[in-house]
Structure 1
Amino acid sequence: MHEDTESCVRAVHSKDARFDGWFYTAVVTTRIYCRPSCPVVPPKVQNMRFYPSAAAAQQAGFRACKRCRPDATPGSPQWNERADLVARAMRLIADGVVDRDGVPGLAARLGYSVRQIQRQLVAELGAGPLAIARAQRAQTARLLIETTATPLGDAAFAAGFGSVRSFNDTIREVFGLTPGELRTRSKNVITTPGSLALRLPFRSPLCPDNLFGHLVATAVPGVEEWRDGSYRRALRLPHGHGIAALRPTPDYIDCRLTLSDMRDLSVAITRCRWLLDLDADPIAIDDLLHQDPFLASLVTKAPGRRVPRAADGPEFAIRAVLGQQVSTAAARTHAGRMVTAAGEAISDDEGGLTHLFPTTEALAALDPATFAMPESRRTTLTRLLDALPGIDLSVGSDWQEARAKLATLPGFGPWTIETIAMRALGDPDAFNPTDLGVRRAAEDVGLPKTPAALTAHAAAWRPWRAYAVQYLWATGDHPINFLPS
């Protein structure tokens, strides 16, 4: 979009927050870059320059606006809508792969050469993977500086910088202030070690009912809970573990993180945003779905539904198998037993979380006879555990390749595969017409109820069929559709 100057200028003049994250506006006279909705008086058109990413603006010598904080906008929705190389790379960079494994590690995950990845990212985003990761480190560092009492030297390494000098130089270059000056200006410092509170932005509207209702109704005992108006869950992170408490408000998601290692801050934020589908573009999605007369009233009634995602792909695949042909309560019971048998114990001073969900390796080491389920489903589960090391279910996965590999496993039919594609892989077009709830809802609103006929009708909903499913599910009287009291 940044190449469409006329559209960008209109968005800046109207201060349209829907375009925050789609592009960034730089002002050549002040050397500052802003989000489109920045509240300051728009500059003259001839002084505007538009960039596709914060990293590109920073590389061009612009620093972040202190008022609109452009580095803290919702991410571009296209990275979660697409499955091409650039989108997959952006999801992995956000998940910290470059900071942990470097660009060669990113290339290995994607199956391309370093040169190919560099070329495609620069062509589309104006910056390579190192610059994009650097921009993310700067934002993480600012969160640590402004919202925690972490010593600045520790904040530098926790944010992923290799030295205090590079930390100081980057903060001064990106924000126009030293780390010490940023902390002096802040009024939100939390002194609890390992904890911080932040606001997760999103594009309005957002309907929290099915989003939090689904996560809470299917919560695994000991790993997830609803407490004091917040959905809380334990997260397995690259350097340790964390606990996220997420509470919906009209304007943002209130997020409180407790981390065993502050180096995991950026990854924890990314996974919380992914879990709640906060980078979606609800206007585009709802505009398309509203064109269908059978869905129009559902969209009008509660616009902005999101797809509740999964914090961990392999975990969700296991839980999908546990949920085959049983009630939500039974699936939670099965998962809770696994957690007790093989999960890693954690402490939770603010709630009742007790474990991390077991790793694939830990579950594979258990005697299959301990899985209290029919023999056929036990076989499905054990075969899945054997196959998971060779199936990429991460945020950077190839959606069609993952589907193909899952389809080779016994007991993996369309319902299970599309459920995993929707919740774990994040494919916005995942569609499960064989789902009982979808079929009942389709019949209630006058849509075709047979899978084949419904699939044919749903072609008009592409590429947002996963969101159409959320609207259809919402017609049912089920706990997944209601925000807990």
Structure 2
Amino acid sequence: MPSTFAATAAPTADAAATVELPAGYDLPGTLGIIPRGKQDPTFQTTHDGAWLAFTTAQGPVTLRLTSEDAGPNGGADPAVIRALAWGPGAEAALPGLPALLGADDDWTAFDQTAFHATLPKLVTEPRRRHRGLRLPSTGRILDALVPVVLEQKITTIEARYSWRYLVSKYGTPAPGPAPAGLKVAPSAEQWRRVPSWDWHRAGVDAKRSATILRACKVASGLERLAALSPGPELAAKLCSIPGIGPWSAAEIAQRTHGDPDSISIGDFHLAAFVGYALTGRKTDDAGMLALLEPWRGHRQRVVRMLYLSGFRKPAFGPRLAPQDHRFH
């Protein structure tokens, strides 16, 4: 069934809406790619949904999302996602809600019997268990770009610390009755005011901070890229910013556009992971692309299912060691 969106009365919030999605819709699984770790200041998970804080063209917003069934028939009933919004950006945030929830992400071709017959069990089995997973589209380019740049060439632990430190210090408190510690990530102008010593205290070297600052100078143009379809044109425009390469462009598009085909070429672990999962052998980026080529158009879906399969590649070889940039 297609999704439906409806604005509703908001007696306890500045704005409210509901989105109806097919039965079995997986809210936490769908949104799980957005936060940078469990301690991301801009996102908090609850037992029945999530809290998000971000900036719209009209100002900051706090968004409370909860999931429930629409009727008495258990798993046969559609899922209803209820949204409450507070802050100057409350009304502006609601039209983007279906995309955020992945309502437009269509898995029909992927789930066809003939296509499934070409996929390995490490893909088809997790897809069977996660039929309600969608690829979300936030439409917020800078909010995705900054943490992706922070993740360049360092460990995930380091990057998440950097994001948490900078947002906690330079972000603004989420409007409305938000949970303690929920923050709106800095705007382009606020990022540009971060002093050099705090980039260093956050563990961010000069190359990555310079890339972020270059992006902030063209932030209004970047946000217009949300209107593009995912694909080569979007990637090329993102890569026109010095310091943004194919890996960063793919990581951004996966979150801002729900790109079902983008592959993070140049990732420190991905090619080896895909190689071991599909062939039992390590491979490089070229080998990974060759392995995934039969599923072009759905390559990101295949990768997501491989991760959800629980498969782990052999744990040997060099590791990317944490680096301390604070005193350099």
What is the TM-score of this pair, normalised by structure 2?
0.76
SS of 1:321's partner is helix
- The answer to whether structure 1 residue 428 and structure 2 residue 260 are counterparts is yes
Q: Could you tell me which of 221, 231, 256 is aligned with 2:83?
A: 256
Change (3 A) 1:411 1:395: closer
Q: Report the aligned-residue RMSD.
A: 3.1
Q: Report how many aligned residue pairs link the two structures.
A: 295
What SS does the aligned partner of 1:199 have? Answer: strand
Deviation of 1:282 after TM superposition, in Å, equals 2.6
* 1:396 is the counterpart of 2:258: no
What is the CA distance between 1:318 and its match in structure 2?
Answer: 0.8
Which residue of the other structure, out of 73, 96, 100, is the alignment partner of 1:271?
96
Would the alpha carbon gap of residues 233 and 477 (structure 1) be closer, same or farther in structure 2, given more than 3 Å must change?
farther
**Which structure's residues are more often helix, by fraction?**
1
- Picking from 18, 28, 34, the partner of 1:199 is 18
Shift of 1:289: 5.2
Structure 2 unaligned blocks of 5 or more: 69-74, 313-328
Q: CA deviation at 1:258?
A: 2.5
Q: Distance in 2 between matches of 1:467 and 1:346?
A: 32
Matching residue's letter, 1:465: R
Q: Deviations over 1:369-421 (max 9, x none)?
A: 42132233233333333343443454303543332233243432321111112
Q: Which has the larger radius of gyration?
A: 1
Matches of 1:292 and 1:205, distance apart in 2: 25
Structure 1 residues 48-87: Cα deviation after superposition (integer angstroms, max 9, x where no partner):
xxxxxxxxxxxxxxxxxxxxxxxxx448xxxxxxxxxxxx
CA 1:417–1:345 in 2, change beyond 3 Å: closer, same or farther?
same
Residue of structure 1 aligned with 2:117, choices 273, 280, 291: 291
Q: How do 1:238-387 residues align onto structure 2 when only pairs under 5 Å count? A: 238-249=57-68, 251-261=78-88, 264-265=90-91, 267-287=92-112, 290-294=116-120, 295-310=123-138, 312-372=140-200, 373-387=204-218
Single out whichever of 388-397 and 456-465 deviates more from structure 2: 388-397
Match of 1:419 among 251, 254, 262: 251
Does structure 1 retain, via aligned residues, the 8 Å contact 2:225–2:234?
no
Distance in 2 separating the partners of 1:302 and 1:285 = 13
Distance in 2 of aligned mates of 1:459 and 1:297 = 20
The answer to whether 1:454 aligns with 2:288 is yes
Letter in 2 for 1:463: G
Contact 2:34–2:255 under 8 Å retained in 1: no
Which residue does 2:276 correspond to in 1?
443
- The CA deviation at 1:431 is 1.8
Equivalent residue for 1:235?
Answer: 54
Write the letter of the residue equivalent to 1:291: A
Residue deviations 1:142-177, cap 9 Å, x none?
x2xxx34xxxxxxxxxxxxxxxxxxxxxxxxxxxxx
> Which string of whole-angstrom CA distances, capped at 9 and with x for unpartnered residues, describes residues 28-48 of structure 1?
xxxxxxxxxxxxxxxxxxxxx
Inter-partner Cα distance in structure 1 for 2:53 and 2:271: 30
CA contact (8 A) 2:228 2:234 kept: yes
Contact 1:347 1:353 in 2 (8 A): no
1:468 equivalent to 2:302? Answer: yes
Shift of 1:193: 4.6
Bigger relative CO (Cα 8 Å, ≥ 6 apart): 2
Partner of 2:71: none
Mapped contact 1:431–1:465 kept (Cα < 8 A): yes
CA shift in 2, pair 1:214/1:271, >3 Å: same
Distance 1:289 1:245 in 2: 37
8 Å Cα contact 1:200/1:255 also seen in 2: yes
Task: Report the 3-state secondary structure (helix = DSSP H, G, I; strand = E; otherwise coil) of the residue aligned with 1:218.
Answer: coil
SS in 2 for 1:285: coil
Distance 1:350 1:264 in 2: 13
Change (3 A) 1:245 1:376: same
Runs (4 or more) in structure 1 with deviation over 4 Å come to: none
Mapped to 2, the partners of 1:434 and 1:210 lie a distance apart of 25
Cα offset, 1:471, TM superposition: 0.9
How much does 1:316 deviate?
0.5
Alpha carbons 1:308, 1:423 under 8 Å: kept: yes
Amino acid at match of 1:223: T
Q: Which amino acid aligns with 1:344?
A: T
Paired residues for 1:32-43 under 5 Å: none
| 8 Å CA contact 2:215, 2:241 repeated in 1 | yes
Sequence identity percentage: 19
One-letter code of the match for 2:116? H
